[in-house]
Structure 1
Amino acid sequence: MRTRITVAAVGTAFLLALTGCGNGTEGVSVTKSDAKPELTPAAPSPTPEPETQTTFDIGETADIDDEPNNVSFSATVIAYTQPVKGPQAPTEDLGGDAWATAEIKVCNVKGETFTVSQFPWSLAYEDGTRVEVSGLNGGDLPKPEFPTNDVSVKPDRCVRGKIPFPVQSDTRPQYIVYAPDALDEPLEWTVPAQ
């Protein structure tokens, strides 16, 4: 499968999420849509492959072209908040003493209908620790919530919401990770120090 990803800096941050949308992977290429064109050399040269990119800043949009599954979609991490005010602290068995949220937006740019959920998203820490989604929803968790169950996204439609993560209040993740089945390599959004 050939999957192409492009990135666009967005004035207003958008966050997108997509669950598995394929049976295996063959390649991912990433290009920046805001890249400046190169000067034309005196002699013709072959067109270079787009630069592969898998790490983004919060607010940047990854545009993914999944040709084998006839879908183009985008994913954006709009914001990361830690701690989140309001909900009761997570219980000890969830592994955190505070809640954090990643606000995500996923859009079906064109092609077939696909599904999204929270489960391809996680937090990655500098020491190698990963925090997965809890699968919890409702109650006092921050709204709007990103769907926990698979939700269909038709062409020209988006799904946006907050994904809660149980975290330790004294450490921040290094990245918000997005790893749907359609991608060979996970995408990461860098979490600022504060």
Structure 2
Amino acid sequence: MDAQELRAADDAASSTTPGGFMRSRTVIAAAMLLAVTACGSGGRAEPSSTVTVTRTVAPTAASTQPSPDVFALGEVWEFASKESVSGDESFQGTAVVLAYEQGFSSAGSASEEAGEAGYEWAYAEVKVCVGNGVFLDADTTWILYYSDGSRIERSSSAYADFPKPAYPSEVSVTAGKCARGKIAYPVPSDKRPKSVLYAPPGLKKPVEWTVPEA
């Protein structure tokens, strides 16, 4: 091998070694970054003050259900279904309890409806929106839950002076639309419910929104 060939071989070796080392470091760094990302994704994300809190479950009997979530008023629950074997259309949407108020006045008597003294009127304001498909809902799917295990369903009355707008007794919510309104309940005047439960057909475990103390 002459001097020119030796210089060429030497140049090739020197250019290969640093380049190969840099590529190795790049691959190792990328692998470490992937490992950190994968580990981090398994943790619970801390939402910033500008992030809307949402959680996702699927209200279908055939789908896997996570443990029931408990939300604060105003937090949004996302839901979705898969197309069934019968060909029913799939749907996707959100539900939320916006407010709970107790002690409003009405011409009708809450104690009379409850069948005992010491009752007053309360309402929960709720909202359901659908992104795609069609979702059927009713005011009977929203129930007040108390710490002693008792539950109160919506009023069987519909007095003209109940808070408006009233949530529909039955509603078919289509893609891009929402249903929002207030549901009245006859409740004991000396205590407040622990939460508002949402239990539409097909959901194995109700979704729950905590009612704050007065």
Q: Same fold (TM over 0.5)?
A: yes
Following superposition, the deviation at residue 134 of structure 1 comes to: 2.0
Take 1:57 and 1:97, find their aligned partners in 2: how far apart are those partners? 25
Deviations 1:109-154 (A, max 9, x none): 21x2222210111101001110011232241111100011x22111
Following superposition, the deviation at residue 94 of structure 1 comes to: 2.3
Take 2:131 and 2:111, find their aligned partners in 1: how far apart are those partners? 39
Take 1:123 and 1:178, find their aligned partners in 2: how far apart are those partners? 9
Match among 80, 87, 90 for residue 65 of structure 1: 80
**In the alignment, does 2:150 pair up with 1:113?**
no
Following superposition, the deviation at residue 10 of structure 1 comes to: 10
Take 2:107 and 2:197, find their aligned partners in 1: how far apart are those partners? 23
Take 2:95 and 2:107, find their aligned partners in 1: how far apart are those partners? 26
Letter in 2 for 1:139: A
Percent identity of the aligned residues?
36
Match among 157, 173, 180 for residue 136 of structure 1: 157
Letter in 1 for 2:80: D
Contact 1:94 1:134 in 2 (8 A): no
Instruction: Name the counterpart of 1:90.
Output: 110
**Structure holding more strand per residue:** 1
Contact 1:66 1:182 in 2 (8 A): no
Take 2:167 and 2:48, find their aligned partners in 1: how far apart are those partners? 22
Deviations 1:53-111 (A, max 9, x none): 5210001000001123511111010000011234533143425621100000000121x
Instruction: Name the counterpart of 1:104.
Output: 126
Which SS does the other structure have where 2:93 is aligned?
A: strand
Instruction: Name the counterpart of 2:4.
Output: none
CA RMSD across the alignment: 2.6
- Bigger Rg, structure 1 or 2: 2
Unaligned runs of 5+ in 2: 1-46, 53-58, 84-88
Take 2:189 and 2:175, find their aligned partners in 1: how far apart are those partners? 39
Instruction: Name segments (4+ residues, structure 1) moved above 4 Å.
Output: 8-11
Q: For residues 28 and 87 of structure 1, do their structure 2 counterparts lie closer, same or farther at Cα, with a shift above 3 Å needed?
A: farther
Letter in 2 for 1:62: W
**Structure holding more helix per residue:** 2
Take 2:151 and 2:168, find their aligned partners in 1: how far apart are those partners? 21
Take 1:10 and 1:136, find their aligned partners in 2: how far apart are those partners? 41
Take 1:163 and 1:92, find their aligned partners in 2: how far apart are those partners? 18
Contact 1:10 1:60 in 2 (8 A): no
Contact 1:25 1:184 in 2 (8 A): no
Which SS does the other structure have where 1:105 is aligned?
A: strand
Normalized against structure 2, the TM-score is what? Answer: 0.64
Instruction: Name the counterpart of 2:196.
Output: 176
Normalized against structure 1, the TM-score is what? Answer: 0.71
Unaligned runs of 5+ in 1: 1-7, 14-20, 30-51
Which SS does the other structure have where 2:110 is aligned?
A: coil
